[in-house]
C-alpha cells in the first residue's frame, strides 16, 4: 500500500496553511468552487485571526509523474494534517504527530529559525519522525533561503543541503516537496489482518451522529457493522460508518492499517471515548494498547460566568462539548458572591483562554463574563499539609502558612540584536533571571527563568511592541519555587469583599492595590456619606481611595450674617452624616466587580 502520513509544523505565521492550500491545489483536492485561502482552517475564528487552532486532516491522491528512466508512475495516498503553530496549542501538535511517520518542518526564508520552530522540531524528533525541512516564502524581497537553511543546520542539526526551497504563495517548489515526501517519509507499518488497534487523536460532537472519532489505524481493519471497544473503559459500540477526510467527511467501505480516517458509532456520551484512547475489536481485542498521551496540565485559570443566570445549564453543556474537542481544557463549577454561579476553567495559556471564550460566545450563543486569569500556587501549612489553589478566596490566614510557592517557566526569546537591551529590561521588571544568551546567525536567543504569573497579562504585547514585532517567544514549565507572595484584600466601608482578593508578589502589592482602589472609587455610586475603599495585607492598609459624598448646600439660604450661624449649620450636617454612616451600608453594583475582575483591565 503506497501511503504516506505526514504533518506540517512550523512557528506561527511561517505559512503552513498557505502551503497546505498549494499542495491541495496541486493534487486536485480543491475544485474551482472551493478555492479560498486557508482551506484547512475550518473554524470561523481561525479564518478571522489568520491562525490555526485545530489540527485538520485531509486525504490526497498523488499520481507520481513518469520519469525518462521509466521509474515513477505510482499512485500514492497522502494523509496530511495541518497543525497550529502557537505555543498554547502545542498539545494539538503532539497529538497530530502521533498519527504520522514524518513532518514537513517549515521555516520562513526572511525570518529564519524562531522559538517555536525549535520546539516543534524537537517534538518531531522525540516521536522518531522523519523531518523534511522546507524553506518557505522564498518569493519575499527580504528572503535569504540559504541563510535560513544554514540556521536550521546550526540550531537544530538538520543538514542544510536537505532543505527544499518553496513558496506557499506562488506554488514554486511544491513538486519537489511531493517528491521529498515519497522518497524520505517511510510508509506506515502495520498488518491489516492483525486484531484492530486504532488511536483516537481527535473528536467532535455531531448533533445527529453523536461523537465522531478521528483515528489513525495502527493494526487491523475496521468496517461498518463491526463491534468495536474502547480500551480504557471496555465499553463496546457498533460501528455505523467509517470514512476519510477531503477535508469534509467522506464515507468509505473500510479503514485498514496505516490509514487516517473517522468513525461514527452512535456514541452519545462524550466521556466514553477520550482522546488518546485505543479502539480495538470487541471479539478479538489487541493485547498492547497505544500508550496514550500525557494529559495536558492547565496552567492558567479563569472564571467564566453567564451574564444571565438562566444560561448556567446551557454553559455547562457547551463546556462539555468543547472539552471533547479540546482535551487540554478543564472546568469545574464555582460560585462567587458577586457574579453568582459559574465555572472555574483551566487553559494552556492566555490565547487558549481567549479562543475558548470566543468559541462559547459564537458557536453556543452565550453572553459571558470572564474573570482575570490566575496561576496555580502551592502552599505548605504550618501543620505540614500541602495544597494547590488558584483562588485567592481559598487562601488561609498568613499565620497558618509555612511557605508559598509559585510556578516558574523557562522562557526562550528569539530577536534581532538591536532590541536585546530593552527586552532584557522588560524581563528584569518581570522578575526574570537570565540563564544564557546565544547568537544564532544574525539573531540572539535569550533564555530566562521567569515567574509564570508575570507573563500572563500583557507580556506578549509589550514584547512585540518593544521589538517592533520581530521577537518570538516560547516557554515550558519548570516547576515551583518559593516566593514572597501576599494576599491583597479589598475593603469597602470596612467590609472585606471576597471576590476582589488577589495574590501578588510583595514588591508589586502596593501598585496593584492602588490601581484596584482607584478603579473601585470610580465605579461605586456616590452615597450621602463618604465611602472608603481600602487595599489591605493581613489587616495593614496599603492604599486607600474615597468615594466622595453627595453634599447638600445647607448654606444656600444664608445671605451674609454672622459666621457662627454658618458654623452651626455645618456642624449639624456633619453630625447627621456621621449617624447615617453608622447605619448606612454600601451596595457594590455588579458593574464595579466587572470593571476590576474582567480581563480587559
Q: DSSP readout, 512-551?
A: HHHHHHHHHHHHSPP-SS-EEEEEEETTEEEEEEEEPPP-
Q: pLDDT digit string (tens) for 381-436? A: 888 888 877 777 777 777 787 888 888 888 888 887 888 888 888 888 888 888 88
- Nearest partner of 430 among 404, 446, 410, 453, judged by Cα: 453
Residue 139 annotated in ligand binding: yes
Structural domain contains residue 290: no
What CATH number corresponds to the domain at position 265? Answer: 2.40.30.10
Tell me what the mean pLDDT of segment 282-291 comes to. 74
DSSP H stretches of helix in 29-185? 44-49, 90-97, 115-126, 145-155, 174-184
Which pTM value belongs to this model?
0.63
Residue 16 annotated in ligand binding: yes
The pLDDT score that the predictor gives to residue 293 is: 56
CB atoms within 10 A of CB 305: 24
Structural domain contains residue 191: no
Q: 184, 216, 232: which is the final residue of a domain?
A: 184
**Does 122 have pLDDT greater than 70?**
yes
Q: pLDDT digit string (tens) for 207-248? A: 788 888 888 888 888 888 888 888 777 788 888 888 887 767
Structural domain contains residue 192: no
Kindly calculate the radius of gyration of the chain based on its CA atoms and give it in whole angstroms.
30
**Does 437 lie in the same domain as 346?**
no
Residue 484 annotated in ligand binding: no
Phi, psi of 508 (to 5 degrees): -105, 0
**Does 363 lie in the same domain as 382?**
no
Tell me what the mean pLDDT of segment 117-122 comes to. 78
**Does 117 lie in the same domain as 208?**
no
**Does 472 lie in the same domain as 492?**
no
Residue 403 annotated in ligand binding: no
Q: 370, 393, 408: which is the final residue of a domain?
A: 370
Distance CA 443, CA 471 (A): 10
Structural domain contains residue 72: yes
**Does 241 lie in the same domain as 316?**
no
> Structurally, how many domains does the chain consist of?
5
Q: State the residue range of the domain holding 366.
A: 300-370
Q: pLDDT digit string (tens) for 573-582? A: 666 655 554 4
Structural domain contains residue 492: yes
Tell me what the mean pLDDT of segment 33-43 comes to. 44
Tell me what the mean pLDDT of segment 345-357 comes to. 76
Q: Residue 38's pLDDT band (boundaries 50, 70, 90)? A: very low
**Does 491 lie in the same domain as 478?**
no
What CATH number corresponds to the domain at position 316? Answer: 3.30.70.870
The pLDDT score that the predictor gives to residue 599 is: 41
Tell me what the mean pLDDT of segment 15-30 comes to. 75
**Does 519 lie in the same domain as 593?**
yes
**Does 154 lie in the same domain as 23?**
yes
What CATH number corresponds to the domain at position 22? Answer: 3.40.50.300
Q: Residue 47's pLDDT band (boundaries 50, 70, 90)? A: very low
Residue 505 annotated in ligand binding: no
Percent of the chain scoring above 90 in pLDDT = 0
Residue 325 annotated in ligand binding: no
Q: pLDDT digit string (tens) for 176-185? A: 888 888 888 8
**Does 421 lie in the same domain as 400?**
yes
Residue 18 annotated in ligand binding: yes
Residue 137 annotated in ligand binding: yes
Residue 442 annotated in ligand binding: no
Distance CA 552, CA 408 (A): 55
Structural domain contains residue 357: yes
Distance CA 511, CA 545 (A): 13
Structural domain contains residue 287: no
Q: pLDDT digit string (tens) for 428-453? A: 888 888 888 888 767 788 888 888 88
**Does 465 lie in the same domain as 447?**
yes
Amino acid at each position: 500500500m503506497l501511503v504516506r502520513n505526514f504533518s506540517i509544523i512550523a512557528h506561527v505565521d511561517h505559512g503552513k496553511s498557505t502551503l497546505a492550500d498549494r499542495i491541495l491545489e496541486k493534487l486536485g483536492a480543491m475544485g474551482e468552487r472551493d478555492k479560498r485561502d486557508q482551506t484547512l482552517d475550518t473554524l470561523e475564528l481561525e479564518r478571522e485571526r489568520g491562525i490555526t487552532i485545530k489540527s485538520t486532516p485531509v486525504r490526497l491522491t498523488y499520481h507520481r509523474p513518469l520519469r525518462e528512466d521509466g521509474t515513477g508512475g505510482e499512485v500514492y495516498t497522502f494523509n496530511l494534517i495541518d497543525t497550529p503553530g502557537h505555543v498554547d496549542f502545542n498539545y494539538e501538535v503532539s497529538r497530530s504527530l502521533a498519527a504520522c511517520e514524518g513532518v514537513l518542518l517549515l521555516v520562513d526564508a526572511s525570518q529564519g529559525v524562531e522559538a517555536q520552530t525549535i520546539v516543534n522540531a524537537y517534538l518531531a524528533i522525540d516521536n522518531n519522525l522523519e523531518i523534511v525541512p522546507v524553506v518557505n516564502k522564498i518569493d519575499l524581497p527580504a528572503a535569504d533561503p540559504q541563510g535560513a537553511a544554514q540556521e536550521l543546520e546550526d540550531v537544530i542539526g538538520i543538514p542544510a543541503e536537505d532543505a527544499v526551497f518553496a513558496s506557499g504563495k506562488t506554488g514554486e517548489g511544491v513538486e519537489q516537496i511531493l517528491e521529498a515526501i515519497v522518497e524520505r517519509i517511510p510508509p506506515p507499518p502495520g498488518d491489516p489482518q492483525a486484531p484492530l488497534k486504532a488511536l483516537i487523536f481527535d473528536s467532535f460532537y455531531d448533533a445527529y451522529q453523536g461523537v465522531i472519532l478521528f483515528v489513525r489505524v495502527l493494526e487491523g481493519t475496521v468496517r461498518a457493522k463491526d463491534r468495536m471497544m474502547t480500551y480504557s473503559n471496555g465499553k463496546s459500540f457498533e460501528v455505523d460508518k467509517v470514512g476519510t477526510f477531503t477535508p469534509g467527511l467522506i464515507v468509505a467501505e473500510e479503514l485498514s492499517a496505516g490509514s487516517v480516517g473517522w468513525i461514527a458509532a452512535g456514541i452519545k456520551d462524550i466521556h466514553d471515548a477520550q482522546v488518546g484512547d485505543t479502539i480495538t475489536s470487541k471479539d478479538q481485542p489487541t493485547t498492547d494498547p497505544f500508550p496514550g498521551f500525557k494529559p495536558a496540565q492547565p496552567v492558567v485559570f479563569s472564571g467564566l460566568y453567564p451574564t444571565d443566570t438562566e444560561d448556567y445549564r446551557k454553559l455547562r453543556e457547551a463546556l462539555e462539548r468543547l472539552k471533547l474537542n479540546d482535551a487540554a481544557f478543564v472546568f469545574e463549577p464555582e460560585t462567587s458572591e458577586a457574579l453568582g454561579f459559574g465555572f472555574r476553567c483551566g487553559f494552556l495559556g492566555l490565547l487558549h483562554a481567549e479562543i475558548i471564550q470566543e468559541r462559547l460566545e459564537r458557536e453556543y450563543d452565550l453572553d459571558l463574563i470572564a474573570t482575570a486569569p490566575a496561576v496555580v500556587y502551592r502552599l505548605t501549612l504550618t501543620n505540614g499539609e500541602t495544597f494547590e489553589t488558584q483562588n485567592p478566596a481559598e487562601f488561609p490566614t498568613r499565620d497558618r502558612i509555612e511557605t508559598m510557592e509559585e510556578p516558574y517557566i523557562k522562557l526562550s526569546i528569539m530577536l534581532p540584536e538591536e532590541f536585546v537591551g530593552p527586552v532584557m529590561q522588560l524581563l528584569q521588571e518581570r522578575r526574570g533571571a537570565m540563564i544564557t544568551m546565544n547568537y544564532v546567525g544574525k539573531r540572539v536567543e535569550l533564555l530566562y527563568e521567569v515567574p509564570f504569573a508575570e507573563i500572563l497579562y500583557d507580556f506578549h504585547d509589550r514584547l512585540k511592541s518593544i521589538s517592533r514585532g520581530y521577537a518570538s517567544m516560547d516557554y515550558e514549565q519548570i516547576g515551583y519555587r518559593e516566593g514572597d507572595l501576599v494576599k491583597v484584600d479589598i475593603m469597602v466601608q470596612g467590609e472585606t469583599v471576597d471576590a476582589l482578593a488577589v495574590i501578588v508578589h510583595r514588591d508589586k502589592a502596593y501598585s496593584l492595590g492602588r490601581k484596584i482602589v482607584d478603579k473601585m472609587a470610580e465605579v461605586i455610586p456616590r452615597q450621602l456619606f463618604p465611602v472608603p475603599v481600602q487595599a489591605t495585607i493581613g489587616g495593614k492598609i496599603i492604599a486607600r481611595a474615597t468615594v466622595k459624598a453627595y453634599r447638600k448646600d445647607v448654606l444656600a439660604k444664608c445671605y451674609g450674617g454672622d459666621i457662627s450661624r454658618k458654623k452651626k449649620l455645618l456642624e449639624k450636617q456633619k453630625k447627621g452624616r456621621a449617624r447615617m454612616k453608622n447605619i448606612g451600608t454600601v451596595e457594590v453594583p455588579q458593574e464595579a466587580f466587572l470593571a476590576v475582575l474582567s480581563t480587559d483591565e
